[in-house]
């Protein structure tokens, strides 16, 4: 009993350290300098924050190229943008901010006076702000080589697309396979070999599934996974390295987990329930569909939660299948090129600039939020079917 308590306490301690490390990376002081000073544009007697919408549009049009202004206008016309949106454009496009130094949360709290003194002495023309790297703009912006403009929108959409494909494919296949093995399959050598292989596949390293996905979905079935057989992207050079391939590969990865947990849930249903159903004249299929599976569903959803938790954090199989490490456009369907949050986190973590380390911490919080949201939905469904 003491060993269990010690292990539980150690697990909680490790989790607390992990969360502190992530949060410590996501918040803190930052010194920001602008390439062009506001005084050079509007003079010393006025402030940029005091200008109205029309004045900001005029400054924007005068200080960026015609092509860049036209691009911004195509994305969303200046009339439709709010005053705050245009102010942000002026700040990013005209003033061109650059982060020159950052501190983590703990250092910002403990060494606050020293940081402010250093700022006053070494950076008189800059701004010192307490920056949250996790923000609305961070969620809405696409990937960028500039830390001040980078976001996780593309990676977040890629993760959502891929996990939806994974669930839609793996859940029905896993439940169907487990139902057959428990309710229909006889105890013979072939079925014992199948069961043994399923148990072994649950422990296979994820990179092996990536190689399997590369061989089957990316290469052998490229005409399907690239959309060419459906007339989509006939001239595409993706060669099957699409969201569909990623989702199917992750489905193979979690399929053994769902099958094993579903089998355990079905075994937990009392045999007396089946006998009562047969006694009332129900067929085997009716008994399974109306009695066995509804009673086993809470356990099945528990296994699904475990499967989602593993799939959403996978990186290795997606790298093999062809996830892009740098992509600036959103996925528009199953046949789009893609990246995911774990890939994005890995890419930022490997960058030497300190700013990207902070972005990686913010992206981890987004990934945890997505994971907890999906798990919460599954838990609510599980609790509902328990009643």
Average pLDDT on 16-36 reads 91
pLDDT value of residue 234: 45
DSSP letters, 1-19, are: -HHHHHHHHHHHHHHHHHH
pLDDT value of residue 364: 94
- Token pair, residue 247, equals 């989702």
- Token pair, residue 186, equals 């006889």
Stated pTM of the model: 0.86
* Residue for token pair 């410590």: 24
Q: Is the pLDDT of residue 18 over 80?
A: yes
306 in the same domain as 210: yes
Percentage of the chain surpassing pLDDT 70?
Answer: 97
* Number of helices and strands in the chain (H, E): 19, 3
Q: What is the spatial distance between Cα 183 and Cα 165, in angstroms, rounded to a whole number? A: 27
370 in the same domain as 222: yes
214 in the same domain as 175: yes
Average pLDDT on 263-273 reads 92
Contact between 78 and 56 (Cβ < 8 Å): no
* Dihedral sign for Cα atoms in the order 356, 24, 157, 250: positive
Would residue 360 count as lying in a domain? yes
pLDDT value of residue 384: 79
Last residue in a domain, options 63, 98, 132: 132
Average pLDDT on 109-124 reads 91
Would residue 363 count as lying in a domain? yes
pLDDT value of residue 232: 56
CATH number of the domain at 268, please: 1.10.3720.10
Which residues, 6+ apart, have CB-to-CB distance to 137 below 8 Å? 88, 151
If one counts the domains in the chain, the total is: 2
Query: Which residues, listed in sequence order, are joined to residue 102 by a DSSP beta bridge?
Result: 30
CB atoms closer than 10 angstroms to residue 210: 26
48 in the same domain as 176: no
3-state secondary structure 81-125: CCHHHHHHHHHHHHHCEEEEEECCHHHHHHCHHHHHHHHHHHCCC
218 in the same domain as 354: yes
Residue pLDDT, tens place only, 304-357? 888 888 899 899 999 999 888 888 888 888 888 899 999 999 999 888 888 999
Would residue 330 count as lying in a domain? yes
pLDDT value of residue 213: 93
Per-residue confidence band for 113, with pLDDT thresholds at 50, 70 and 90: very high
Contact between 351 and 277 (Cβ < 8 Å): no
Average pLDDT on 27-31 reads 93
Average pLDDT on 24-38 reads 90
270 in the same domain as 206: yes
Q: What is the spatial distance between Cα 291 and Cα 194, in angstroms, rounded to a whole number? A: 26
Per-residue confidence band for 41, with pLDDT thresholds at 50, 70 and 90: confident
Q: What is the spatial distance between Cα 251 and Cα 307, in angstroms, rounded to a whole number? A: 9
Residue 187: domain span = 153-386
213 in the same domain as 361: yes
116 in the same domain as 222: no
Would residue 199 count as lying in a domain? yes
199 in the same domain as 72: no
pLDDT value of residue 266: 94
227 in the same domain as 367: yes
Last residue in a domain, options 132, 162, 181: 132
Mean pLDDT over the full length of the chain: 88
Would residue 338 count as lying in a domain? yes
Average pLDDT on 22-29 reads 93
Would residue 53 count as lying in a domain? yes
288 in the same domain as 208: yes
Residue pLDDT, tens place only, 212-250? 999 999 999 888 888 888 775 544 545 788 999 999 999
Residue pLDDT, tens place only, 99-108? 889 999 999 9
């Amino acid at each position: 009993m003491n060993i269990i308590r010690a292990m539980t306490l150690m697990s909680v301690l490790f989790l607390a350290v992990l969360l502190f490390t992530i949060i410590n990376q996501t918040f803190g002081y930052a010194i920001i300098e602008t390439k062009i000073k506001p005084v050079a544009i509007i003079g010393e007697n006025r402030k940029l924050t005091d200008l109205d919408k029309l004045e900001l549009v005029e400054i924007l049009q005068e200080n960026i190229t015609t092509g860049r202004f036209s691009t911004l206008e195509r994305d969303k016309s200046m009339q439709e943008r709010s005053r705050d949106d245009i102010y942000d454009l002026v700040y990013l496009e005209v003033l061109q901010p650059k982060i020159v130094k950052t501190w983590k949360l703990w250092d910002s709290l403990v060494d606050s006076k020293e940081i402010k003194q250093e700022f006053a002495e070494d950076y008189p023309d800059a701004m010192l702000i307490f920056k949250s790297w996790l923000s609305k703009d961070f969620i809405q912006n696409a990937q960028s080589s500039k830390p001040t403009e980078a976001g996780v929108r593309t990676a977040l959409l890629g993760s959502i697309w891929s996990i939806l494909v994974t669930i839609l494919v793996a859940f029905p296949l896993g439940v169907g396979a487990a139902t057959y093995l428990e309710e229909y399959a006889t105890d013979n050598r072939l079925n014992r070999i199948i069961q043994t292989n399923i148990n072994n596949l649950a422990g296979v390293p994820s990179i092996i599934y990536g190689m399997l996905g590369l061989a089957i979905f990316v290469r052998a079935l490229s005409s399907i996974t690239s959309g060419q057989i459906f007339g989509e992207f006939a001239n595409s050079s993706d060669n099957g390295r699409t969201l569909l391939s990623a989702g199917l590969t992750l489905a193979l990865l979690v399929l053994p987990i769902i099958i094993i947990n579903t089998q355990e849930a079905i075994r937990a249903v009392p045999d007396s329930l089946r006998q009562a159903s047969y006694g009332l004249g129900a067929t085997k299929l009716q008994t399974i569909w109306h009695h066995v599976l509804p009673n086993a569903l809470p356990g099945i959803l528990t296994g699904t939660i475990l499967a989602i938790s593993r799939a959403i954090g996978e990186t290795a199989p997606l790298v093999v299948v062809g996830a892009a490490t740098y992509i600036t456009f959103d996925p528009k369907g199953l046949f789009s090129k893609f990246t995911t949050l774990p890939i994005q986190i890995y890419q930022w973590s490997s960058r030497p600039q300190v700013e990207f380390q902070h972005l990686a911490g913010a992206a981890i919080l987004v990934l945890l939020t997505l994971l907890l949201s999906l798990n919460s939905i599954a838990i609510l469904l599980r609790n509902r079917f328990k009643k």
